[in-house]
Structure 1
Amino acid sequence: MFRRSFHQSKVLPRTKVWSDLTGSRPQSFSIPAAYIKKCVLEGTPAQGPPSIKRRFNRIKYRSPEKIDETFKICYDFMESRAAQVYEKASQAHTEQEKEQLLAQAELHNPEVQYNFLYHEKLENDPNVIDYEQAVYRLLGKQHWESYGQMLLMQRLESLSVIPDTLPTLVPRTEVNIRFPYSTGVNKWIEPGEILSSNVTSLPPVFKIQEFDLIDPSTQYTILVVNPDEPDIVNDTYKTTLCYGLANIKVNYNDNIVDSRKFDESNKIVDYLPPVPEKNGGMQRFAVWVFRQRRPLEVKEYSRNNFDIRSFAKSQQLIPVGAHVWRSEWDSHVAQVRTKYGLPDGRVFSRTRT
């Protein structure tokens, strides 16, 4: 049984659960802007809806006939249903059952729907979209599964990250990465995107967004591997471990993993930036996020010929999320090699010598 407190788990003593004025409800269940909240719940004002920017168009706007009265009837009905669901939640036997009921109780709340629809979901403000609340985790999961999860799996499979690194993945956690400390692109990277070696010269930042009900003590391992390192001797490719972090803790809202969240005791290996060799082709850099069953012993691991499958099996790691970007040789590679004290790269040609 998970020991987790829910802000909204207390059943309110009356049926007006959504419009409760006692201040016992989480702030994220209310629309922050008072004038928008009034427009949503009480109807369009005489000067027009605030969502229309041009005053001329606002004044011309006319709501559909009887829509405000119809909304009020539906709101009262759904609010009374929500009170019944809260009552069931108070009698739930398991945390999973309570989680589902608490999410359903607020799912049709217009203020919750408005907050999730019109505010930033990736870089969320916990006062507006609070992933500690079951309903926002449900909405977040639905939003991710409608596009982001499918895009990720398409890229992992079309780029053969699966099965070249791990055999498969049942994605449960949304993983995003960006390179905010490097010159160039400071944005969340789309899976499979091709990045310059200048952009990836400094360690990435990871965002691990959980949607499931998890134990707060859960720790994570993050591995970045390159399965496209040329192995000339064996006429094949080998996998290099480019970055490794272990025993990382996050929560639903505070889930950015960067240098502020860990120290040397969390590093399996330091970051080795992508430095593809000339004419060596495109290289894939796969990011794998694992839930740990137990604390991981952090010690020296070899980068070369890294067997990620054996490592995950021996450490009892559960893969829950992934990401990937690509890189190839460009004019910045030599500068990055010098910065990290790496030897000069090789130049491949079509003709073997």
Structure 2
Amino acid sequence: MLTRCIHTWRTVGQAKVWSSLAENSRSLRIRSESVRKCILEGTSPGGPPSLKRRFNRLKYNSPEKIDETFQICYDFLKSRANQVDGQVSKAEDPKETERLLVKAELDNPEVQYNFQYNDKVDNDPDVIDYEQPVYRYLGKKHWEEGAQMLLMQRLESLAIIPDTLPTLVPRAEVSLKFPFSTGVNKWIEPGELLSSNTTSLPPAIKIQEYELLDPKNQYYTILVVNPDEPDLENDSFRTTLNYGLVNVQVSYNDNVVDARKCDATNVISTYLPPVPEKNAGTQRFAVWLFRQPSALQPQRWVLNRDNFDIRQFARDHSLLPVGAHVWRSEWDSNVPHLRASHGLPPGRIFTRTRS
């Protein structure tokens, strides 16, 4: 009975949603035609092209009846997606439209293959296109099940929360790397200890939104703060501002904020690299991402970066924290050179040490 029903759906030509949507976006198809044909039509006598060694391809044997079973399931899921696709044009709420578009493509094996076997951070929009609701949905689930939990664990265990801001409801994924010749040119794990040479130039910050919003009208503020600057007069610590950007705009795919792309309308505080003082211990550098309610008007920013109140700044400009990151730094032999190159006074030494 199931086979006859599927045959009827195929003959009337109503189960074409995946192929028709793929015409509008290359990311909804598998790029490699050999892999695509193997997945959708069954393994050829030469073996699956995903196996690199010819010996392994030749000795590969598909499970019995797997191709027939796949075809039945594929046709069934495709026809169900077609029914969902018919509801999209009737939906009036953008969020409902988003939900239906995700539902229509979620079971597409080509979409699942693209997402599972390709880079999700350095994504190629022709393969993983975050403009597509289904990839945003898959990306958010992948983030929530891994990187987001690690981030929150590091923010709380390192006491970034509440030492800088009281809490965070993460909505956007923030990735960080130092891609210059002095850097390590990799995405930094939250809480990683980095040398002063690595952090001597401003980081590249990737903002990955997974929620439905209008990128043309969404502005962001990025603040990098150090809550571990010694305050000897008060026998405590103060927070310093190491980097400040406002009115930052990104899209779902073009979303890496690089200092070379920013101008005077964005930079409210130039990048000051970490220069921890000797024997002052490890210092934390928190990267906070905020959504702005609107573009901030150009003005002469007067900020006390040596004693910066990030909470008051967020309140004054109605900023909503949506993402964060953190790295750590400590004194090393390159710090005196960095201090001199930025016109900073020589660092202090906080305990007795042999010179």
**Residue aligned with 1:18, SS:** helix
- State the Cα distance separating 1:23 from its structure 2 match: 6.7
**Residue aligned with 1:199, SS:** coil
Q: Does 2:36 match 1:37? A: yes
Q: Does 2:125 match 1:123? A: no
Aligned to 1:252: 252
| CA distance in 2: counterparts of 1:347 and 1:59, whole angstroms | 67
Alignment: residue pair count = 338
| CA distance in 2: counterparts of 1:38 and 1:94, whole angstroms | 37
| CA distance in 2: counterparts of 1:304 and 1:343, whole angstroms | 14
- State the Cα distance separating 1:51 from its structure 2 match: 1.4
Alignment root-mean-square deviation, CA: 1.4
1:192-234 CA distances to partner (integer Å, 9 max, x unpaired)? 0000001000111100000000122100000000000000011
- State the Cα distance separating 1:302 from its structure 2 match: 1.5
Moved more, 323-332 or 336-345: 336-345
Q: Which amino acid aligns with 1:289?
A: L
1:314-345 CA distances to partner (integer Å, 9 max, x unpaired)? 10000000000000001110111111111100
Q: Which amino acid aligns with 2:279?
A: N
**Native 8 Å contact 1:179 1:204 kept in 2:** yes
| CA distance in 1: counterparts of 2:224 and 2:129, whole angstroms | 29
What does residue range 55-66 of structure 1 map to in structure 2 within 5 Å? 55-66=54-65
**Residue aligned with 1:330, SS:** coil
Higher helix share: 2
Aligned to 2:45: 46
**Native 8 Å contact 1:269 1:300 kept in 2:** no
Aligned to 1:109: 108
Aligned to 2:193: 194
| CA distance in 2: counterparts of 1:14 and 1:24, whole angstroms | 16
Aligned to 2:4: none
Given the superposition, is the C-alpha separation of residues 245 and 184 from structure 1 closer, same or farther in structure 2, using an over 3 Å criterion?
A: closer
Q: Which amino acid aligns with 2:321?
A: P
**Native 8 Å contact 1:194 1:325 kept in 2:** yes
- State the Cα distance separating 1:182 from its structure 2 match: 4.4
- State the Cα distance separating 1:15 from its structure 2 match: 2.3
Aligned to 1:319: 321
4+ runs deviating over 4 angstroms: none
Aligned to 1:266: 266
**Native 8 Å contact 2:15 2:75 kept in 1:** no
| CA distance in 1: counterparts of 2:62 and 2:138, whole angstroms | 28
Aligned to 2:67: 68
What does residue range 38-187 of structure 1 map to in structure 2 within 5 Å? 38-187=37-186
Aligned to 1:10: none
Q: What are structure 2's unaligned runs of at least 5 residues?
A: 1-12
**Native 8 Å contact 1:182 1:198 kept in 2:** no
TM-score, normalised by the number of residues in structure 1: 0.93
1:221-253 CA distances to partner (integer Å, 9 max, x unpaired)? 000000000000111000000000000000100
**Residue aligned with 2:208, SS:** strand
Aligned to 2:340: 338
Aligned to 2:16: 16
Q: What are structure 1's unaligned runs of at least 5 residues?
A: 1-12
| CA distance in 2: counterparts of 1:250 and 1:184, whole angstroms | 24
**Native 8 Å contact 2:17 2:81 kept in 1:** yes
| CA distance in 2: counterparts of 1:246 and 1:68, whole angstroms | 54
Q: Which amino acid aligns with 1:256?
A: V
Q: Which amino acid aligns with 2:155?
A: L
- State the Cα distance separating 1:276 from its structure 2 match: 0.2
- State the Cα distance separating 1:255 from its structure 2 match: 0.1
Q: Which amino acid aligns with 1:190?
A: E
TM-score, normalised by the number of residues in structure 2: 0.93
- State the Cα distance separating 1:54 from its structure 2 match: 1.5
**Native 8 Å contact 1:182 1:202 kept in 2:** no
| CA distance in 2: counterparts of 1:55 and 1:202, whole angstroms | 46
| CA distance in 1: counterparts of 2:277 and 2:260, whole angstroms | 32
What does residue range 202-217 of structure 1 map to in structure 2 within 5 Å? 202-216=201-215, 217=217
Q: Does 2:349 match 1:347? A: yes
Aligned to 2:285: 285
**Native 8 Å contact 2:199 2:273 kept in 1:** yes
